[in-house]
Amino acid sequence: MKRTKIKDLIATAPEEQTVVVMGWVRTFRNNQFISINDGSTIQNIQAVVELDQLEEGLLKRVTTGACISVTGKLIASPAKGQQVEIKVEQLEILGDSDPEKFPLQPKKHSLEFLREIAHLRPRTNTFGAVMRVRHAMAFAVHQFFNEKGFVYVHTPIITGSDAEGAGAMFRVTTLDAENPPRDEEGKVDHSQDFFEKETNLTVSGQLEGETYALALGDIYTFGPTFRAENSNTTRHLAEFWMIEPEMAFYDNNDNMDLAQEMLQYLMKYALEHCKEDLAFLDKRASDEEMTKPQAQRSELGLLDRIKFIIENDFQRLSYTEAIDILKNSNPNKKKKFKYIIEEWGTDLQSEHERFLVEKHFKKPVILYNYPKEIKAFYMRQNEDGKTVGAMDVLFPGIGEIIGGSQREERYDKLLTRIKEMGLPEDELKWYIELRKFGSAPHSGFGLGFERLILFVTGMTNIRDVIPFPRFPGHAEY
Ligand code: ATP
Ligand code: MN
């Protein structure tokens, strides 16, 4: 007989039909009640064995963590909180789990502890829920773009360009690390390397993405990106997934419209399709909030925060307006910020972004028109000569969730900026050339997938929303 997933069983009318369930034992009470989870849902199913039904040796092997297969009748459950249960007829151990050694006991474990056993943590309610939501969000991203007629483009993971401009890169090489070939000057000779040049892992698919937008119209990428930035924060990973739409004929306003529409679509999708997991995560997040001092607790619960995003327009604000607000803000005047805002032109820190979102506007904010000095070379220069058509979407609890811009489509302006910034012109030749042959206004942005998952799941550390996190000093598994 084929096994049925627990998700389907609990939605089935119990008619004493014979069913097979396979999964992992969460608890076994009174030598009678086995709680089984198979990952298809956060809910467990209860399998009931009669006293003396199973031989002693078999019973002893029904331990927390063991994998079992149960065959029995699906009946209405007399117990509270569940519709159905299984009256066991046959029980088979598929994989033993020594209860003395299995690290996941049926009690609350800290997230720090679970991070050390990343191969077992998906067996917990929290990680099961987070990863099912992560899946749903990935699916919804593709559905959103597909409905809008965007083409999914696979940009390279190994890039030949080291001027993507988004962060420090990881070198890719097959040269002997102990004894690399060297040229006359004693420098490592990459002409003898696999690609006969220096290559790196991509920090962004944007530049390549633009080439496809200027041919197919609306495109997006969704793939892994790598940044060798030594930032040990709860919002940075060395390997993360990014969604990067790029659209021909969009100006920066269209760009902001799309960013808001997409985020609201994804939030709606989560509310509709991840009800049980989100209900669990909502409770988990509010329990965690209660351990914080009153002043640091967020005013809304997880589900309310998600609804809030769906129901409210994001506040759009120029960088210049933001600086005025920040300069005159209480934390700035009272020197409560770590970085005091003194003049126009300074880069905003996460504390400033969070002040605008969480304290001042109390809603998501889109900041646009940043000083060109603090933004990348490819952003479109505004008439004022000082700012570029950038836009960052800032979310409560997260800070920057999206970074994007209208791109500089004018050949001369782009070339001048590249020279001013001393960037390698010949490496960017193809990118500059796009502006020579049928250039067009276009825009795009990057959404950090894990930052999205942080927001939707209410988790607080980015290392807990990706299966195997990579960050400085950590590349286990
Ligand atoms: P931050 O200032 O937070 O480091 P950034 O300005 O470097 O972000 P972009 O280069 O604009 O970010 O990247 C686009 C998006 O990718 C960001 O808005 C964010 O959601 C996400 N992102 C950037 N760096 C990381 C990282 N190290 N880990 C996870 N997500 C990231
Ligand atoms: Mn960064």
Q: Is the CB of 236 under 6 A from ligand 1?
A: yes
> pLDDT tier at 3 (50, 70, 90 boundaries)?
very high
pLDDT at 462 over 70: yes
Q: How many CB atoms lie within 10 A of CB 190?
A: 18
Closest-CA residue, ligand 1 atom 3, reads: 400
> pLDDT tier at 51 (50, 70, 90 boundaries)?
confident
pLDDT at 458 over 90: yes
Q: Is the CB of 401 under 6 A from ligand 1?
A: yes
Q: What are phi and psi of 141, to 5 degrees?
A: -60, -50
DSSP states of 54-75: S-HHHHHT--TT-EEEEEEEEE
The H-or-E segment that residue 239 falls in is: strand 239-248
pLDDT at 140 over 80: yes
Percent of the chain residues topping a pLDDT of 90? 91
Atom of ligand 1 nearest to the CA of 167: 7
Closest-CA residue, ligand 1 atom 2, reads: 400
Return the amino acid letter for 184.
Answer: E
For the segment 155-161, the average pLDDT, to the nearest whole number, is 93
> pLDDT tier at 22 (50, 70, 90 boundaries)?
very high
Lowest-pLDDT choice from 75-79, 159-163, 420-424:
159-163
pLDDT at 287 over 90: yes
pLDDT, position 230: 83
Mutate to test the pocket of ligand 1, among 242, 339, 395 (most ligand atoms within 8 A of CB): 242
Q: Is the CB of 305 under 6 A from ligand 1?
A: no
Rounded to whole angstroms, the Cα distance separating 461 from 398 reads 10
- Classify strands 45-48 and 218-226 as parallel, antiparallel or unpaired: unpaired
Q: Is the CB of 400 under 6 A from ligand 1?
A: yes
Closest-CA residue, ligand 1 atom 21, reads: 448
Rounded to whole angstroms, the Cα distance separating 155 from 209 reads 7
Q: Is the CB of 391 under 6 A from ligand 1?
A: no
For the chain, how many residues are written? 477
Q: Ligand 2 mean position to 293 CA, how many Å?
A: 30
Q: Is the CB of 463 under 6 A from ligand 1?
A: no
For the segment 400-429, the average pLDDT, to the nearest whole number, is 96
Rounded to whole angstroms, the Cα distance separating 43 from 64 reads 16
The three-point CA angle 462-316-136 to 5° equals 35
Q: Ligand 1 mean position to 167 CA, how many Å?
A: 9
Average pLDDT score, the chain? 95
Q: Ligand 2 mean position to 294 CA, how many Å?
A: 31
The predicted-structure confidence for 356-389, as pLDDT tens digits, reads as follows 999 999 999 999 999 999 999 999 999 999 999 9
Mutate to test the pocket of ligand 1, among 204, 230, 236, 449 (most ligand atoms within 8 A of CB): 236
Sign for the pseudo-dihedral over CA of 384, 389, 390, 392: positive
The predicted-structure confidence for 304-353, as pLDDT tens digits, reads as follows 999 999 999 999 999 999 999 999 999 999 999 999 999 999 999 989 99
pLDDT at 224 over 80: yes
For the segment 36-46, the average pLDDT, to the nearest whole number, is 98
Percent of the chain residues topping a pLDDT of 70? 99
Return the amino acid letter for 267.
Answer: M
Alpha-helical (H) ranges within 274-311 are: 275-290, 302-311
Residue 72's beta-bridge partner residues?
19, 88
Q: Is the CB of 321 under 6 A from ligand 1?
A: no
Q: Is the CB of 444 under 6 A from ligand 1?
A: no
For the segment 31-46, the average pLDDT, to the nearest whole number, is 97
pLDDT, position 369: 98
Q: Ligand 2 mean position to 167 CA, how many Å?
A: 6
Q: Ligand 2 mean position to 12 CA, how many Å?
A: 48
For the segment 422-451, the average pLDDT, to the nearest whole number, is 96
Rounded to whole angstroms, the Cα distance separating 477 from 463 reads 14
- pTM, rounded to two decimals: 0.96
Q: Is the CB of 446 under 6 A from ligand 1?
A: yes
Using a CB cutoff of 8 Å and minimum separation of 24, what contacts does 470-476 make? 470/237, 470/238, 470/239, 471/232, 471/236, 471/237, 471/238, 472/230, 472/232, 472/238, 476/118
The predicted-structure confidence for 69-125, as pLDDT tens digits, reads as follows 999 999 999 888 889 999 999 999 999 999 999 999 888 899 999 999 999 999 999
Question: 104 or 294: which carries more pLDDT confidence?
Answer: 104
Sign for the pseudo-dihedral over CA of 145, 146, 149, 151: positive
For the segment 158-168, the average pLDDT, to the nearest whole number, is 79
Residue 241's beta-bridge partner residues?
224
Q: Is the CB of 263 under 6 A from ligand 1?
A: no
**Closest ligand by atom to 224 CA:** 1
Atom of ligand 1 nearest to the CA of 445: 14
Q: Is the CB of 227 under 6 A from ligand 1?
A: yes
First to last CA, the chain: 35
pLDDT at 165 over 90: no
pLDDT at 164 over 70: no
Q: Ligand 2 mean position to 279 CA, how many Å?
A: 32
Closest-CA residue, ligand 1 atom 18, reads: 402
Closest-CA residue, ligand 1 atom 28, reads: 236
Q: Ligand 2 mean position to 115 CA, how many Å?
A: 23
pLDDT, position 163: 66
